[in-house]
Amino acid sequence: MTEFDYVVIGGGAAGCVIAAGLAQDGRFSVVLIESGARDKSPWIHIPATFFKSMASRDVAAVVSEPEPSLDGNRFAVPQGRVLGGGSSVNGMIYMRGQKRDYDDWAEVHGCTGWAYQDVLPVFKSQEANTRLGDPFHGQSGPLMVADPIYKHPLGAAMIQSAIATGLPANEDFNGAQQEGAGWYQITAHKGRRKSAAVAFLRPALHLETLTVLTGHQAQRLKFKGRRAAGVEVIGPEGPKTILARKEIILTAGSFQSPKLLMHSGIGPAHHLTALGIEVIHDAPEVGANYQDHVGAPVTMRLKHPIGVHGADKGLKALRHGAEYALFRRGLLASNLLESGACADTTGEGRPDVQYNFTPFAPGPPGTPPLEVHAVSVNPMTMRPKSRGRLALKAANPASDLHFTANPLDRIEDLDTLRRGIRLARDIFRQNPLAELVTDEIWPGPDVSSIAGSNTLDPAIRKHARTIFHPSGTCRMGPGPASVVDLNLRVNGVTGLRVADCSVMPCLTSGNTNAPTMMIAGRAVGFILADA
């Protein structure tokens, strides 16, 4: 079958939610198109092995041009290329962001209907929280959200030391207050990852209304006049066109959704014309407004071998493997990002820096963890001001993107990381963590974080890295200049929507997996209301 009512392009978190939701309605035929493979790898489903997934065929990195704000270093952003997308390979942290994030979408960016009071019911309807209930949490949705069943002792030490700096204890980062230090809740249950593919798509796979095509790469959209009518794909049997009777929904993420739009004639007219691409609709903001959370780790060597270094080798690996196989617990049941903190470093009344606590030492950007027993407090910008841009390199859909992230282009973001590093170092000075560590690996003892230091900024630029939360490249807004309208319909054409984190007018304060699934959940409602 090559014609369906709805064609969903991109089998990541958003695509799984939308395809399942439309198929479960029962009235329409739906096809979900994913360029990657099925989520069959065992590394996907065992929480602690997501690092192995990141180095597998299930992840492909988009690499920027040399970045002036990183002293010429490139900014590499890994993307899930497998059913479930990022939700199949991420660190599983369940973080919605702040109430004010969504209120700002509505009040500052004109996205009425997207305030916190509008999106909270969707979050709750999707969630099956094993500990928390009303008023902020649901307990009967498809997505399992739970406390980590394995808690590394170093995680507890980092929480206690963070509290010793003056941060409050926080038992729910998605509740009334985001500020504080504590254990994250994660999208895992009983020692298994609960990706969007597992939580949303798998229960719908038996439906006759749903077809899932993996290993199919979308090339460009086909239009009848100004209506999106189909998509050209290349699959195992070669090229073919899949037609949409009602709508096409792009859920390919912040890189591939704008790329597909531009190859299809929707984008900056001067750019497309220069490449010989016929312009369907001049949309200058397609590919603009790129945002990502940026981090820079503070890492200390441990006095004793109590980190996770070497846990995947020899007898230790056998012991952990046996414990997991028999009981679904132990270190392999951990997401290794079990605890963290959100801190207000400006005094403005809302956290601006998120910290992930890890019982290992991150390597330089794009490299594996260091082969040493260490612990790391990892600050990241929560609401970056810097903006990047995507463009096409050639008219051939197989060509790479021209990508400039500009991750520290705005001095405000550099200043946020300066403050974040100062507080991270203060955390390390507090007991019990102070009693467990020796020398600082990064930034290192020769790098001062005193205000006005001329050594900290180069260190930040050298070690700054993505936190894997690209967004904003198909911005939602109230006017025709935005890429999509408030119901996620692409402006200037019909029969086409974008419904992934690329539509965010600005990043949420924290991990983007939960907000992406929320956006997709709202899209299902919009689509069915227009059906």
Distance CA 391, CA 405 (A): 11
Beta-bridge partners for 465 = 295
CA distances (Å), origin 278, targets 143, 261, 481: 42, 12, 20
- Interval 89-111 mean pLDDT: 98
Enzyme catalytic residues: 469
- Interval 264-284 mean pLDDT: 98
pLDDT in tens, 424-464: 999 999 999 999 999 999 999 999 988 777 899 999 999 99
Percent of the chain with pLDDT strictly greater than 90: 94
pLDDT in tens, 407-419: 999 999 999 999 9
- Interval 13-22 mean pLDDT: 98
Question: Is position 55 within any domain?
Answer: yes
Distance CA 201, CA 357 (A): 31
Question: Is position 36 within any domain?
Answer: yes
Task: Provide the number of structural domains found in the chain.
Answer: 1
Is residue 221 within 8 Å of residue 258, measured between CB atoms?
A: no
- Interval 474-498 mean pLDDT: 97
Question: Is position 374 within any domain?
Answer: yes
Distance CA 70, CA 294 (A): 11
Give the pLDDT band of residue 59 (cuts 50, 70, 90).
very high
pLDDT at 367: 86
pLDDT in tens, 494-520: 999 999 999 999 999 999 999 999 999
Exposed/middle/buried for 463, CB within 10 Å: 0-12, 13-18, 19+?
buried
Give the pLDDT band of residue 374 (cuts 50, 70, 90).
very high
Question: Is position 400 within any domain?
Answer: yes
pLDDT at 51: 83
pLDDT in tens, 331-357: 999 999 999 999 999 999 999 999 999
CATH of the domain at 133: 3.50.50.60
Give the pTM.
0.97
Percent of the chain with pLDDT strictly greater than 70: 100
**What average pLDDT is seen over the chain?**
96
Beta-bridge partners for 282 = 267
pLDDT at 223: 98
- Interval 124-143 mean pLDDT: 96
- Interval 273-301 mean pLDDT: 98
Which has the closest alpha carbon to 260: 224, 292, 286? Answer: 286
- Enter the tokens of residue 399: 């060509």
- Interval 113-126 mean pLDDT: 98
Higher pLDDT, 228 or 365: 228
Distance CA 126, CA 219 (A): 32
Which uninterrupted H or E stretch holds 144?
strand 143-145
pLDDT at 1: 59
Question: Is position 189 within any domain?
Answer: no
Question: How many CB atoms within 10 Å of residue 171?
Answer: 12
User: Has residue 368 got a pLDDT over 90?
Assistant: no
Instruction: Give the 3-state secondary structure of 265-303.
Output: CEECHHHHHHCCCCCCEECCCCCCCEECCEECCEEEEEC
Question: Is position 298 within any domain?
Answer: yes
Q: What are phi and psi of 240, to 5 degrees?
A: -160, 165
Instruction: For residue 98, give its domain range.
Output: 3-182+196-287+294-530
User: Has residue 92 got a pLDDT over 90?
Assistant: yes
Q: What share of the chain is helix, strand, coil (3-state, %, to 5)?
A: 30, 25, 45
Is residue 306 within 8 Å of residue 374, measured between CB atoms?
A: no
pLDDT at 33: 98
Give the pLDDT band of residue 312 (cuts 50, 70, 90).
confident
Question: Is position 188 within any domain?
Answer: no
pLDDT at 48: 94
Contacts of 344 (CB under 8 A, 6+ apart): 179, 350, 351, 352
Question: Is position 117 within any domain?
Answer: yes
Is residue 158 within 8 Å of residue 433, measured between CB atoms?
A: yes
